[in-house]
Structure 1
Amino acid sequence: MDILKAEIERKRRQITNSNVLAPDKKYFKRGDLAAKQAEDYWRKHGRLQADSENTKENGESSTSKTDNTQEEKQAILPRKEVIRKLRERNEPIRLFGEEDFDSYQRLKKLEVQEPDINKDHGYDNDFKTAMDKVDEEYLVEIMKGEGSLPSNDVSVKDDGTSRDDIDQLRSEIGKGDPKKDQEVMLRFYRLILKLWGEQLNKREESLKRTNKGKMQSAFHTQTVAYLKPLFRKLKNGVVDEDILDSLVFITEHVMDKDYIKANDRYLEMAIGNAPWPIGVTMVGIHARTGREKISSRYVAHVLNDETQRKYIQAIKRLMTQAQELFPTDPSKCFNYKS
């Protein structure tokens, strides 16, 4: 009984201290007591102040966010400008259920991710670059103002090799000495480039300034640029063995003026003659049939890297020019035209 009385007295004291019981009343509601206890609890832990501050901040942030959105909508680009920019990027001008502001937001996102897709970071065009270089040199000569109109000549380098040295070069190549073979090929390819350039420079000035004449000069300029890595390897004697043999055979056939066989060797080197020219040997748990036949002469070397592809392509142009510079019987010419 003493314990029960003590508990009742404690409850009465708690109720009196919590100011739930009004002075003019003898009773109170249990809900008022629970609300007062909860308020005391949250005040003790500092939640009421934090919640009120968060609510106030959220209200201000939502208000500022709404204001920013309204300002952004007011600063939106004209619809015609948005359509033009989206079409430049090959993007749809409006998606399903999309409003003008949504289209504008999508355009902004595209501009952030790919800012210069149609300006400076497009696909490179090597031929156009070569033509631009020819045009630039032509304009530089015009700006110099050296009396008469400038010519659209190409750069020609002479290492002392002439047509009379071809027979000697033919007797030195293919003797089993890789260093000598690379030296002979370097001199022969430079000779073709020199004769090709001299032939272009002998054209009339009016022909050099035409679009066709500028294209021919651009082909020569581009070929010289493509062959620089190969010439560097030939000079140092470090050409890859997997294509050295093919280059030697191609050079021998071109010197012999047998352009049919030279073209066959070129195709064998460039694209290979294996059923799968890339050289895939394992396609699953079983080895590919005839995988032992895949060697350097069966693989498509034009697929190795971009630098090798370029000078392999340039070699084909040298073969075409050699066919014009050193004519032979039509039966030995590739794509012969009367």
Structure 2
Amino acid sequence: MDFASLMTKEISKAKPSDTKDKKETGSNNKYQRRADVEAARIAAYNAEQEKLQREREEKAALKRKHEEDELERRREREEKKRKLAEESRKKREAEEEAAERQRRKRLGLPELPPRASEEGTPVPEEEDIDDEELIKKLRELNEPATLFAETHKARLKRYRKLVKRSLTPQLSNGPIPTTLELVPEKDMKIPAKIPKDIDPESRKFLFRQLASYFTMLLEEWAIALAKRDTSVKESFSGRQAFNAMVQSRDNMRPLFKKFETGDIDHTVLEAIVEIVHCAQERRYVDANDGYLRLSIGKAAWPIGVTMVGIHERSAREKLHESDNKAHIMSDEVTRKYLQSIKRCLSFAQVRWPPDDLLQLMG
């Protein structure tokens, strides 16, 4: 074996180990696992987010500090302004008091009494109530005699507030809230006509009766509409009937206001009393006649030429009679509540049908 073959053999033995080392070293430098790459990316992202979060927190803390400083400066300015205003007011009052004292001294008037302190001003003797009597009055009002840590002055203030509240008129819970005290159904019977010499108390009771009757009608109307089936309620006619009830209720509010104040025309009141009286007796045709006389009236309607010649025409004075005035033409409010009364009559004859079928309105 010569030298060349020997060297070739030795080189061939060394080649596999070099290739293996190259593969091992190359795998470490050239190739990486996907998990390692993802972990490195997540770590870099978390580090960046932590850095951004720290920056945001620092900015928020700095902004909050600026706001607190600004609020403190504003509070100090307001406090300073308040103190200056208080000092100016006291100084001005002192100067005015000194000037008034000098004026009184110069004119020989009695001295000015000392100014009472604003805090802890005692209750005047004529307005104060003995503690035992005050507790008794509170118990008569079904109120606790004393509250926790309540002083006599606070108890007296609470009593006056309760008395003031009791004197305030309370509203009813009906469809139309009113300050009139509603009467029970057995006391709603209204006379056919208003007495000529009616006293104020009887007139007020008549207003209470009328308000109670219309309140009962509206409540029964709402109950009747609520008892309908859902299909009927959601239909066009059902919604129209409900809207008519709501509109009538809203339009009758001015009438209730007139009942409360008593400021209602006597002729209108007489007609309403007649309508309600006939409706209570289930004579709906007569009630409808009263409604027509109230709304349209009996005044003659001028047709054609009325002032021809120099001679007085017969029955011409009927054109200008005030007793036959059509009240529905007075104003829009009157027209609306008179129309609502007619709708109430239409419901009443359905809710309380008459014994005589001839008394049914058309």
What TM-score results when the alignment is normalised by the length of structure 2?
Answer: 0.43
- Which one has a bigger Cα radius of gyration? 2
